[in-house]
Amino acid sequence: MKKELNKETINHNKELPIKIIQFGGGNFMRAFTDYVIDKLNKDANFNAGIANIKVTPSGSSFHTFEDQDNLYTLFTRGIKKGKTIDNHQIISSIQTSINPYEDYQKFIDLAKEDELEFVFSNTTESGIIFDDSENKLGNTVHQNFPAKLTTLLYERFKYFKGNQEKGLTIIPCELIENNASTLKTYILEYAKLWNLDTEFSNWINSANSFHNTLVDRIVPGFPKDDLESYTNQLDYNDELIVVAEAFLLWVIQGNNKLLEKIPFDKANEQILIVEDINPYRTSKVRILNGAHTAMVPFSIMMGIETVKEAIDNEISGEIIRQIVYDEIIPILNLPKDELEEYAEDVFDRFRNPFIKHYLSSIALNSISKFKVRVLPSFIEYIAKFNSLPKNITFSFATLLLFYKGEWNGKALPLNDDESIVEEFKKIWSLNNYKEIANSILKNESFWNQDLTKIEGLVDEVALIFELINEQGIENGYSIYIKQ
């Protein structure tokens, strides 16, 4: 019979001071921030404990944290720098888990922690919002995350009498642009709505720092579909197993003052402290998300089902590499070697044998995805080099052909807004390839611009239609790319 996972059974009795309050103890944060802090505690003697805060009243498994003394197993599986990674470890950075809906006072008392320095959060994209129905500061927990944080900060401001040394470093991980700046705006709005002291708002501005971030790690989470293969590797029971890929990227807007507070540079992970986060966000969208979107139509039409298969295939893999290395990287605003290293990491992730990422699921809403993720690279390449990027053009044309809805007598996994599907159906009823290309490319409801104004694009797309229909994807590409 297996033992229970707790501090006694694994002989781990070290208590860490609460330096971090974390809003959200879901799979992502446990495989991301909690893992990083655990690594810093073990490798850099950071000596930081985390107070894990439940952010919603729903869900019944939160008590499991305390049942396991806030310990859990992280399995890391994937490919990193060409090597297969498959290992597991116990994470011990969380010291206490608090449900403010059941014990509000325990939550509020965190404001009095003398060694408290940081706030992390991941309350999903809908978490950082302003809800004016939360219109007063009371003695019960707010539902809204920025309201909860405002309450906690106000309690700290009062307890330490506005001490400038007791402000916090706030590092949100929600997947929205300018996450920290937006969160700060809402905190100040709540301070105004609740008629809190002007000195409190001044303290927020002067004593606390807010850092916008970009986070990236695939975290499948609890392996319910293959649980036995994981539990067989453990000699204890664990109800909080979490599985993550090997890749981790954390870009934080800040400077050396942040590194003086928390030694991210000693984590041996891709954690970047930068003055401007925007080029990194653009690189992620263009390279990772752009490659995902660009590969979908021609790969599916070749009979390929998963991202890994698309990368491993000689033809589709070469098209994707050409798109990324020859047509996307040259127009991005970061050092070439840095971008190429990131691209190699991306391709490692695409090859991850432990994750089956189906192209049909990525195909959802491909027109809007292409518009946001790929079209900007396409336009900027033309502006910079005064020519069409041939591989992106080929992907673009196959996307338009994909929206015909069938290929070689088989239905394609077309999944988009009904009005878009119907419009393509109407256009594809035309018989002339050039007329079809012209009708699609000039449709501003698809692209927010008239793409027929790009010299030669209509003719190029019509040519690719013809080559693919006469020669198939592979031969059509080979003939087109040599022209």
Give me the CATH number covering residue 116: 3.40.50.720
Identify which of 261, 17, 37 has the alpha carbon closest to the alpha carbon of residue 116.
Answer: 17
From the centroid of its chain, how far is CA 156? 31
Residue 10: which pLDDT band, with cuts at 50, 70 and 90? confident
- Token code pair at residue 399: 């996307």
Instruction: Let me know whether 299 and 203 are in one domain.
Output: no
Instruction: Let me know whether 264 and 284 are in one domain.
Output: no
Mean pLDDT of 232-240: 95
Give residue 190's pLDDT.
98
The domain tally of the chain equals 2
Last residue of a domain, one of 274, 297, 321: 274
Instruction: Let me know whether 50 and 35 are in one domain.
Output: yes
Mean pLDDT of 233-248: 95
Question: Are residues 21 and 118 in contact, defined by beta-carbon separation less than 8 angstroms?
Answer: yes
Instruction: Let me know whether 209 and 356 are in one domain.
Output: no
Instruction: Let me know whether 26 and 55 are in one domain.
Output: yes
The burial class, CB within 10 Å (0-12 / 13-18 / 19+), for 26 is middle
Give residue 139's pLDDT.
83
Q: What percent of the chain has pLDDT over 90?
A: 91
Instruction: Let me know whether 147 and 54 are in one domain.
Output: yes
Residue 483: which pLDDT band, with cuts at 50, 70 and 90? confident
Instruction: Let me know whether 394 and 334 are in one domain.
Output: yes
What are the angstrom distances between the C-alpha of 480 and each of 395, 401, 477? 12, 16, 5
Q: How long a stretch of residues is the chain?
A: 483
- Domain that includes residue 214, residue range: 3-274
From the centroid of its chain, how far is CA 29? 12
**Which residues have CB under 8 Å from 84's CB, separation 6+?**
78, 353
Alpha helices by DSSP H, 240-289: 256-261, 278-283
Measure the CA angle with vertex 197, ends 191 and 200; round to 5°: 70
Tokens 């309690």 -> residue: 155
Mean pLDDT of 415-440: 95
- Kindly report, residue by residue over 129-144, the tens digit of the pLDDT: 999 999 999 888 999 9
Alpha helices by DSSP H, 232-323: 256-261, 278-283, 290-301, 307-312, 314-321
Lowest mean pLDDT among 217-221, 325-329, 397-401: 217-221
Instruction: Let me know whether 21 and 59 are in one domain.
Output: yes
- Kindly report, residue by residue over 445-461, the tens digit of the pLDDT: 999 999 999 999 999 99
Neighbours of 29 (CB within 10 A): 24
Residue 60: which pLDDT band, with cuts at 50, 70 and 90? low
Largest CA distance in the chain: 77
Q: What percent of the chain has pLDDT over 70?
A: 100
Give residue 216's pLDDT.
94
Identify which has the larger pLDDT, 2 or 183: 183
- Kindly report, residue by residue over 73-95, the tens digit of the pLDDT: 999 999 988 899 999 999 999 99
What's the mean pLDDT when you consider all of the chain? 95
Instruction: Let me know whether 240 and 386 are in one domain.
Output: no
Q: How far apart are CA 97 and CA 53, in angstroms?
A: 6
Mean pLDDT of 422-431: 94
pTM equals: 0.88
What are the angstrom distances between the C-alpha of 448 and each of 122, 364, 438, 444? 32, 19, 15, 5
Give residue 125's pLDDT.
73
Neighbours of 61 (CB within 10 A): 10
Give residue 1's pLDDT.
81
Instruction: Let me know whether 259 and 373 are in one domain.
Output: no
Give residue 469's pLDDT.
94
Q: Read off the CATH number of the domain in which 382 is found.
A: 1.10.1040.10
Mean pLDDT of 256-284: 95
Last residue of a domain, one of 274, 305, 335: 274
Residue 326: which pLDDT band, with cuts at 50, 70 and 90? very high
Last residue of a domain, one of 228, 251, 274: 274
Instruction: Let me know whether 235 and 345 are in one domain.
Output: no
Instruction: Let me know whether 359 and 245 are in one domain.
Output: no
